[in-house]
Structure 1
Amino acid sequence: MIQRIQSIFLLLVAVAMGAIVSSQIWVSATESKQAVLTAMQLTVTENGTVVETVNTLAIAVVAGLAGVVALASMFSFKNRMNQMKLNLVNSLLIFTVIGLNLYYGYMQGTDLMGGVQGQYKIGFFLPVFAILFNSLANRFIQKDEKKVKDSISGRLRD
């Protein structure tokens, strides 16, 4: 059912994954040079002029896919085993987003900035929250499944 607590957690996963697309993930700056990583691109500017742009659309695609899988899981409440499988796939997708964030921010961004380290912004931490919410949703789905199995086995004993 939609009003169950796991549905709220799955909705929060979808919101977190959607919010990544519109937020900054990583920023690095020196006196004349600045690099900004978003889910769409890594842009390096020097004195206000764009010097280099790297396409990071993979982050947006995988994050969007994770949001869609979370919504699909939320609406497949009649089949809890299917829900748990979808949440497992979603965990893998969210970890992929975290890996892509690290790759584009730490590896490529630092290289383009000449070794200058940057700061991770809210877009980097949103997938971490999504993993937490996904795990909590799975825990409550498992509790529901256990209640159903216990009630069925209780009926069989009577």
Structure 2
Amino acid sequence: MIQRIQSIWLLLAGLTICCLLFIPMVTANIGGIEYHIIASGLYQKTGSLTKQVESFLPLFISTIAVVIMCFVNIFNFKKRTIQKRICMASAVLIIGLSFWCSQYAKKIPGGLDTANYSVGMFLPVIAIFFIILAIRGINNDEKLLRSADRLR
């Protein structure tokens, strides 16, 4: 069966999670120094100089793994049940990734009381929404194949 709309949804889910590598999740401004957290670490910005204060290598690797998982799942279109299972596993991993991001967000200087949540905190929710739409597309493909088999 030719892959249809679910490949677009999986691509969008992968791109959304990939944006965690570039878009800050939490920002804080303490004494003229701006701190922000992305998936690769905690960054400090003073004036025009940005330096990495702390590295979150396990979170970075996990984010890359989920992105690759979404992109590779696009090519499983001949095995719809496996594709659906990988989509569900991706959704569970994204939930775990967002929980892990929130744990790292607590490491921002001043705590979460002084922090501002950025767009990056909402990206996992959007990615899960895209994965749900991909699962719906896979189910529609299965229905279409079942109805075509009845006609034969």
Please give the range of the TM-score, normalised by the shorter of the 2 chains.
0.7 to 0.9
| 2:107 counterpart residue number | 108
| 1:82 counterpart residue number | 82
Q: Which consecutive residues of structure 2, in runs of 5 or more, have no partner in the other structure? A: none
Contact 1:20 1:60 in 2 (8 A): no
- In 2, the alpha carbon distance for the partners of 1:47 and 1:80 equals 51
Q: Deviations over 1:75-119 (max 9, x none)?
A: 1101100100110111112112211221111x222xx31564311
Structure label with greater radius of gyration: 1
Deviation at 1:142, TM superposition (A): 0.9
Q: Deviations over 1:20-55 (max 9, x none)?
A: 1112111011334442111111135789999x9332
- In 1, the alpha carbon distance for the partners of 2:6 and 2:137 equals 6
Q: Look up the equivalent residue of 2:35 and give its one-letter code.
A: A
Q: Look up the equivalent residue of 2:28 and give its one-letter code.
A: S
- 1:121 and 2:118 aligned: yes
User: Does the C-alpha gap of structure 1 residues 97 and 30 become closer, same or farther in structure 2, counting only changes over 3 Å?
Assistant: same
Q: Which consecutive residues of structure 1, in runs of 5 or more, have no partner in the other structure? A: none
| 2:127 counterpart residue number | 130
- 1:145 and 2:139 aligned: no
User: Does the C-alpha gap of structure 1 residues 74 and 46 become closer, same or farther in structure 2, counting only changes over 3 Å?
Assistant: closer
State TM-score, norm by structure 2: 0.85
